[in-house]
Chains A and B, each alone.
Chain A
């Protein structure tokens, strides 16, 4: 059972889903606070471990119990090293795709088509800012083929489909001139992981 005083350090790219998952899970969510790190850290994954360490260290010095709502997320083990050294745990998986859809589904998606560009609700919502602007495509539109030339389809791992997100996902696929497929993942996988981590952290 979780205890008050647990803080989830969440990637800003999944913070909305983390909060929703905690609300849906009385055990995991009871008394759990969420602190977020900027979602754009994902474009500089080499910074993630350091930022998590800084926030987790501060929280631990205040006597708080910490769990980390990041997967490996391109840190290639650096986040695991931090977690081990601080005695904390993170979400299982390589990316949030694994957390939402399950690693077997994600493996199957890439096995079927390695040239798959994956979206989550966050990416659908923020594509202009987190992808177009961050990759410099607004300034250098000639780079579209450099970034996306090898992709063959877009797969949207949808946490919570809405009409607005569907329109946006369609527009992104059209922008990339790629077919769009949608896999409804919900947030059950995330909720289960958070419950596991919160329970373990709560002792």
Chain B
């Protein structure tokens, strides 16, 4: 198997979510001398993007997204330290969490995988994250973006509570805020004063990249 064939196989195996085989092939690729970046950007990420595209077309459903995400996450666990060692620079830091009162995290976790694959350093605070915990994480990690996820109409109001907490702590102008989740819309995001919204994980990555640029431009101004 040459490098091209290995990358093609890695792409295919990620697409079908064969986590053990993806990890094994990642190791084989590294032993063959392929760089972590090559494995990531020429196989894993394109494959996960294809998963997202198939989901949007209705060819894939949530289970297929999740097993592909798990396969990718397993490979990322192997590649992450190597990417840091080789000095690949993070394109931004993203603090992420599901809001207080909400335990749903499937969408959030998919976003995390996509963001990390795209080069973000992701700090996942988990579920049921209280406003003060978001504030503390922003103080500690000084991220470019903090993301609030909610699955329920009853927990969406926590977006505003979190933003208010950031304002009260004097941090609102130091970090961009993204929101997302099944019931969330662009209108709602605008209404609570978020800087960004995305309807799915793929879109979230693109929006996050835009916001990082904006954030850094504002920081330089």
- A residues sitting closer than 8 Å to B (CB atoms) are 72, 74, 76, 94, 107, 110-111, 114-115, 135-137, 139-140, 142-143, 146-147, 150-151
* Interface pair B103/A136, CB less than 8 Å apart: no
Determine the main DSSP class of A at the interface with B. loop
Answer whether residue B32 sits at the interface, using C-beta atoms and an 8 A cutoff: no
Of B17, B103, B105, the most chain A CB neighbours within 10 A belong to B103
* Interface pair A147/B106, CB less than 8 Å apart: yes
**Residues of the A chain whose Cβ atoms lie less than 8 Å from the Cβ of B64:** 136
Contact of A146 among B101, B106, B185 (CB under 8 A): B106
Contact with A along B52-75 (1 / 0, CB 8 A): 000000000111101100100000
Q: How far is the CB of B133 from chain A (nearest CB, A)?
A: 15
**Residues of the B chain whose Cβ atoms lie less than 8 Å from the Cβ of A150:** 103-105, 127
* Alpha-carbon gap, A137 to B67, bound state (A): 11
Of A94, A150, A151, the most chain B CB neighbours within 10 A belong to A150
**Residues of the A chain whose Cβ atoms lie less than 8 Å from the Cβ of B102:** 114
Determine the main DSSP class of B at the interface with A. loop
Answer whether residue B8 sits at the interface, using C-beta atoms and an 8 A cutoff: no
**Residues of the B chain whose Cβ atoms lie less than 8 Å from the Cβ of A142:** 19, 67, 70
Q: How far is the CB of A50 from chain B (nearest CB, A)?
A: 14
Answer whether residue B157 sits at the interface, using C-beta atoms and an 8 A cutoff: no
**Residues of the A chain whose Cβ atoms lie less than 8 Å from the Cβ of B81:** none
Least CB separation from A115: chain B residue: B103
* Alpha-carbon gap, A76 to B101, bound state (A): 19
Please judge, given known A-B contacts A114-B101, A114-B102, A115-B103, whether A146 and B70 are in contact too, CB under 8 Å: yes
Least CB separation from B188: chain A residue: A76
Sampled A-B contacts (29; CB under 8 Å): A72-B153, A76-B182, A76-B183, A94-B154, A110-B101, A110-B154, A111-B101, A114-B102, A115-B103, A135-B63, A136-B66, A136-B67, A137-B63, A139-B63, A140-B17, A140-B66, A140-B67, A142-B19, A142-B67, A142-B70, A143-B63, A143-B66, A143-B67, A146-B70, A146-B109, A147-B106, A150-B105, A150-B127, A151-B103
**Residues of the B chain whose Cβ atoms lie less than 8 Å from the Cβ of A115:** 103, 128
* Interface pair B101/A136, CB less than 8 Å apart: no
**Residues of the B chain whose Cβ atoms lie less than 8 Å from the Cβ of A136:** 61-64, 66-67
**Residues of the A chain whose Cβ atoms lie less than 8 Å from the Cβ of B70:** 142-143, 146
Q: How far is the CB of B107 from chain A (nearest CB, A)?
A: 11
Contact with A along B105-128 (1 / 0, CB 8 A): 110010000000000000000011
* Alpha-carbon gap, A94 to B155, bound state (A): 13
* Alpha-carbon gap, A72 to B101, bound state (A): 20
* Alpha-carbon gap, A137 to B61, bound state (A): 13
* Interface pair A146/B103, CB less than 8 Å apart: no
* Alpha-carbon gap, A47 to B12, bound state (A): 31
**Residues of the A chain whose Cβ atoms lie less than 8 Å from the Cβ of B63:** 135-137, 139-140, 143
